[in-house]
Amino acid sequence: MNPDEIKLNQAREVIRDASSVFVITGAGISAESGVPTFRGAGGLWKDFDPTKVATPEAFEENPAFVWEWYNSRRADLAPRVPNAGHEALVRLEKSRPDFFLLTQNVDDLHEQAGTETLAHIHGRIWDMRCVSCGDVHEDRTPSLPELPPCCNQCSGLLRPDVVWFGEMIKEHAIQATEAFLAQREIDAVLVIGTEAHFGYIAHWALAARGRNGILIEINTDATAFSDAADLTLRGPAGTILPTLLA
């Protein structure tokens, strides 16, 4: 058996025996559905300066420009469907008494696959929020016809209900994550397809590990977070997860 097979078998045993599982996902889980990641080759932040399209200041200065970028992301995301990695996580949820998934992704491919217990720490791209009255509603029109769109309730400006740089992460997602971690021992922590670039992501992964969890990283490449993992499985999530969770 080669070292990768040994690690995969060890991870399988951890998952087989785990009753409480905490999962963190990032852009890598959706990569095989055709959604671009942020960093690395072909990443969104290679082609676009995030300060021009993903900050409150950019929106204040030129909302139509920011919306054009989000419109193109919406059009690109609309036809995407969940991949085998998303689907394997649904089977995992159904077979465990305690499961919680925290995603950094603004797509809804986890929900489309059937995941029920999850929170979006960076919001959801299909949700629109009025900057004046705060109303939030879902609108799945792939490409909005009039930019910037306005609120039906008060005519204020609508923005994507996603977290931009310099903004607070989603409070309901913080609370759901912390409640899950506070209420039980964690048997397995899966960190999938993310650079774990933000301190709160690394913090929650390590907090779960500190509650007795074995931390397994699944990623095509090594990350700055890899050394914190008990087991690292290298490869695409859409291949590794179905094998790991079979």
> Would you tell me which residues interact with ligand OAD (CB under 6 A)?
26-28, 31-32, 37-40, 43, 54, 104, 122, 163, 193-195, 197, 218-221, 223, 236-237
Would you state the structure tokens that stand for residue 118, as one six-digit string?
């999850």
37 vs 71, beta carbon nearer ligand OAD: 37
Count CB atoms within 10 A of the CB of residue 27: 22
Residues 202, 228 contacting (CB under 8 angstroms): yes
Smallest gap from Cβ 45 to ligand OAD, in A, equals 6
Smallest gap from Cβ 240 to ligand OAD, in A, equals 7
Smallest gap from Cβ 121 to ligand OAD, in A, equals 8
38 vs 180, beta carbon nearer ligand OAD: 38
18 vs 54, beta carbon nearer ligand OAD: 54
How far is Cα of residue 233 from the mean position of the Cα atoms in its chain?
Answer: 19
20 vs 219, beta carbon nearer ligand OAD: 219
Smallest gap from Cβ 153 to ligand OAD, in A, equals 26
Q: Catalytic annotation on 122?
A: yes
Smallest gap from Cβ 188 to ligand OAD, in A, equals 17
20 vs 110, beta carbon nearer ligand OAD: 110
Q: Please pick, among 122, 137, 172, 203, the residue that the annotation labels catalytic.
A: 122
Q: State the catalytic residues.
A: 122
